[in-house]
Amino acid sequence: MRCRGFLFGVMVTILTLPALAADRIQLSVDASKPGPKIDRNIFGHFAENLGHGLYEGIWVGPGSSIPNTRGIRNDVVAALRELNVPNVRWPGGCFADQYHWRKGIGPRDKRPATVNSAWGDVIDTNAFGTDEFMDFIQQIGSTPYVSINVGSGTPEEAGEWLEYMTAAAPTALAKERAANGHPEPYKVGFLGIGNESWDCGGAMTPDYYVSLMKVYSRFVLNMNPAQRDKDKMLKIAVGPGTPNTEWTEAVMQAWKKHTWAWDINGVSLHWYTVPNGWPPSTASEKFGLDDYDKTLKSTLFMDEFLRKQEAVMDKYDPEKKVTLSVDEWGAWHAPLPGSNPAFLVQQNSIRDAILASLNLNIFARHADRVRMANIAQMINVLQAMILTDKEKFVLTPTYYVFKMYVPFQDATFIPVTFDAGSYTHGGISLPRIDAIAARSTDGKLLLEITNLDAENPASIDTDLSGITAKSATAETLTAPNVDSINTFESPDVVVPKSAAVNIHDGKLSLTVEPRSVTVIAIEQ
């Protein structure tokens, strides 16, 4: 039951809250102790040449009946623009360590067909190459994060790729780019020096990789004059994919002794939520509460994983110059029945949305070291933002989490303390809620509250001492069931809606629905 009232000259809603007073959760936001910037690059994406991630998901070709601009889907571009996507990692993943950039430039009808042996041995027309990727990046307003081939490639070839992308004429490769329609050099924001070099990237030992990393860092150069003094390209080394710290030790030990000849700016980390272990076996649709609880429990391990790697990085780099880049993360479920298992197709439910908010909150709490992250993957693969099937298109619950978090991009972290209590079901115990706070770049106080409890709402009182709150707006994402999804036929099952908040005596109160993600923006 609700009644409306006016406070501070703005309309607010006073709630008759369902939870008992004793169950209420007290949050305390301390705006007088601002923390680090929540780098907008933690909201990055990963778009690998895998399944229908690029082909069909982004690229349909200029001749397609699906509305497109120079071959790139207009519906996808419009949706991604809303996310203010800071960077996109491409072309892989495992695919990166077998990719030769030369096969993807020039007239498309002359490009060679190759086999994508990383993902299902399908024929790759190479129609989506460097210039198409850069066009996509420009259309969505993002920054390229290019992973170079350290597995089967050479430093010379990778160096030439960077020259093709970034050199100003009159170099031969800059002229070739101009002849392909792009006289202006591209900006490459981030360079990934290989991918999972301990596994699909070449099964290397840490020492072997470190030797290669130095060579690639030395010779793969960004030549864009506009990136010489500012907007410098950051080089990201391969990091671990298990909590074992041996790899990070080797990379950071080398970095500590680096000379003028080479440098890196980040170390990557890959960690997926695979609740039952490998191979992934959790269903991404039509699952129950047990799977929901198990998945959320599993995803919370990200915090411990980061801590372990950060302890090593702090040893060699107490000033936190080197970024920890979580450039692959997300839920990895069983392939959808009937799909090609190599295409990593899965549905995306409110469970995945909650998982996304929990990970983003963990990254925010590690903002002094984690300044970059890339959800895997952008479209049609793993925990995607968008699913397509020919002309059909649907936004996933995870898409909406990324949209709700846009105000957190480059916001200043603000500590928030609370006793979350616990929610226990089927032997699994989870915190009832999670929360972060921040000051947005336009001066609002932001509060995010995730209610992990699948069955019960949570009533929350937030102490806003030190802040004179004038008004607040809130948006919440929830769904009827733990496995609710958006489909082509019913795209609005899991969409954000506005939520009621009450500000009184310096306290903000609200009730968040079960299994929900809520973002509150407070004007002061």
Q: Give the nearest distance from C-beta 175 to ligand AHR in angstroms.
A: 33
In the annotation, is 523 catalytic? no
Q: Give the nearest distance from C-beta 142 to ligand AHR in angstroms.
A: 19
Q: Which stretch binds ligand AHR (CB under 6 A): 68-76, 291-299, 374-382, 496-504?
A: 374-382
Q: Give the nearest distance from C-beta 394 to ligand AHR in angstroms.
A: 21
| Six token digits for residue 508 | 């903000």
Q: Which amino acid is at 243?
A: P
Asked if 144 and 137 touch (Cβ cutoff 8 Å), the reply is: yes
Cβ neighbours, 10 Å, residue 523: 15
- Nearest residue (CB) to ligand AHR, 148 versus 522: 148
Which position among 92, 266, 275, 397 is part of the footprint of ligand AHR (CB under 6 A)?
92
What strand order describes the sheet that includes 445-451?
Answer: 412-414, 433-439, 445-451, 516-523, 471-477, 497-499
How distant, in Å, are the alpha carbons of 155, 174, 188, 353 from that of 170? Answer: 22, 7, 19, 48
Helix (H, G, I), strand (E, B) or coil at 11: strand
- Nearest residue (CB) to ligand AHR, 382 versus 387: 382
Q: Give the nearest distance from C-beta 96 to ligand AHR in angstroms.
A: 8
d(CA 14, CA 498): 14
Contacts of 184 (CB under 8 A, 6+ apart): none
Does 94 contact ligand AHR by CB under 6 A?
yes
DSSP state string for 335-359: PPTTS-GGG-----BHHHHHHHHHH
- Which runs of E-coded beta strand occur in 238-361? 266-273, 323-331
- Nearest residue (CB) to ligand AHR, 48 versus 160: 48
Q: Which stretch binds ligand AHR (CB under 6 A): 73-81, 299-307, 376-384, 395-403?
A: 376-384
48, 310, 328, 448: the active-site residue: 328
Which secondary-structure segment (H or E) carries 217?
helix 206-219
d(CA 477, CA 498): 9
Q: Give the nearest distance from C-beta 143 to ligand AHR in angstroms.
A: 20
Which position among 139, 149, 195, 484 is part of the footprint of ligand AHR (CB under 6 A)?
195
Asked if 382 and 421 touch (Cβ cutoff 8 Å), the reply is: no
DSSP 379: B
Does 93 contact ligand AHR by CB under 6 A?
yes
Which position among 131, 163, 196, 434 is part of the footprint of ligand AHR (CB under 6 A)?
196
d(CA 452, CA 355): 9
- Nearest residue (CB) to ligand AHR, 377 versus 459: 377
- Nearest residue (CB) to ligand AHR, 376 versus 519: 376
d(CA 472, CA 452): 23
Q: Give the nearest distance from C-beta 195 to ligand AHR in angstroms.
A: 5
Q: Give the nearest distance from C-beta 201 to ligand AHR in angstroms.
A: 8
- Nearest residue (CB) to ligand AHR, 93 versus 159: 93
Strands 10-15 and 2-7: antiparallel
Q: What are the beta bridge partners of residue 466?
A: none
DSSP state string for 390-452: TTEEEE-HHHHHHHHTGGGTTPEEE-EEE---EEEETTEEEESEEEEEEE-TTS-EEEEEEE-
- Nearest residue (CB) to ligand AHR, 106 versus 241: 241
In the annotation, is 319 catalytic? no
56, 160, 196, 448: the active-site residue: 196
d(CA 514, CA 450): 9
What strand order describes the sheet that includes 458-463?
Answer: 416-418, 25-29, 458-463, 507-512, 502-504
- Nearest residue (CB) to ligand AHR, 270 versus 371: 270
Does 384 contact ligand AHR by CB under 6 A?
no
Instruction: Identify which of 393, 301, 399, 299 has the alpha carbon closest to the alpha carbon of residue 348.
Output: 399
Asked if 471 and 519 touch (Cβ cutoff 8 Å), the reply is: no
Does 345 contact ligand AHR by CB under 6 A?
no
Q: Which amino acid is at 222?
A: N
Binding to ligand AHR in span 30-89, by CB under 6 A:
48
Does 97 contact ligand AHR by CB under 6 A?
no
Q: Give the nearest distance from C-beta 196 to ligand AHR in angstroms.
A: 5
Q: Give the nearest distance from C-beta 119 to ligand AHR in angstroms.
A: 8
- Nearest residue (CB) to ligand AHR, 56 versus 196: 196
Does 453 contact ligand AHR by CB under 6 A?
no
Binding to ligand AHR in span 264-303, by CB under 6 A:
270
Taking CB positions, which residue lies at the least distance from ligand AHR? 93
Contacts of 53 (CB under 8 A, 6+ apart): 47, 377, 378, 379, 380, 381, 384
Kindly determine how many residues on this chain lie close enough to bind ligand AHR according to the rule CB under 6 A.
11
Which position among 252, 376, 378, 395 is part of the footprint of ligand AHR (CB under 6 A)?
376
Q: Which amino acid is at 376?
A: A
Does 328 contact ligand AHR by CB under 6 A?
yes
- Nearest residue (CB) to ligand AHR, 147 versus 481: 147
Binding site for ligand AHR (CB under 6 A): 48, 92-94, 195-196, 270, 328, 376-377, 382
Give the catalytic positions in this structure. 196, 328
